[in-house]
Amino acid sequence: MNKMNPKLAEEKSEPNVPTDFREALAAAPKAKAQWSDLTPIARMDFIRWIVSAKQPETRRRRIEKACSKLAAGERRPCCYSIVPMDLYKALAAAPKAKAQWSDLTPIARRNFVSWIDSAEQPKAQKFRIEQACAMLAAGERHP
């Protein structure tokens, strides 16, 4: 049974590109061409890396770096970790969940992270992290 949020399940496969990043891509033809060649999951990795910046200056630098990486032919933001820190800490405290997480495919991991990220409030995200750890500890492989 799929316990995933119906809103998330209905999302289109193409991620929404933030306006500032979309404008930067438009100004960098090589980066835009590479962007067009990426899979939706690879695009989402770049977007998550950019929007996870806490400071506007960090976000601006990440957008510049993303465009530079894309123009150079790179397909992923190398320094971005797909596992949010709160989830990482929760998995470290739950050995069974951590073992199951280690056995997941990258796509299954992204599904959990997307499900957690789709919660709009920090409390809801925290609750989903707890749910994810419980599901993983119980052997479930999908949110």
Each residue of 96-130: pLDDT tens digit? 999 999 898 878 888 898 888 888 888 999 999 99
Local confidence band at 13 (pLDDT 50, 70, 90 cut-offs): low
* Average pLDDT across the chain, whole number: 86
pLDDT at residue 12 in the model = 47
How many angstroms separate the CA atoms of 91 and 104, rounded?
Answer: 13
Name the pTM for this structure: 0.55
The DSSP-derived string for 50-61 is HHT-SSHHHHHH
Q: Per-residue pLDDT for 4 more than 80?
A: no
What's the distance, CA 104 to chain centroid?
15
User: From CA 137, how far away is CA 90, in angstroms rounded?
Assistant: 12
| 3 pLDDT higher than 70 | no
Q: Residue 118 carries which DSSP code?
A: T
Higher pLDDT, 53 or 95: 95
d(CA 85, CA 47): 17
| Residue 106 near residue 69 (C-beta atoms within 8 A) | no
Compute how many other C-beta atoms are within 10 angstroms of the C-beta atom of residue 138.
Answer: 10
> Which range among 61-70, 91-100, 113-122 shows the weakest confidence by mean pLDDT?
113-122
* Residue 32 structure tokens: 């835009």
* pLDDT bucket at 6, cuts 50 / 70 / 90: very low
* 127-143 average pLDDT score: 94
- The better pLDDT of the pair 48, 25 is held by 25
pLDDT of residue 80: 55
The model's confidence at residue 49, banded by pLDDT at 50, 70 and 90, is confident
Which two structure tokens, joined as six digits, stand for 133? 């750890």
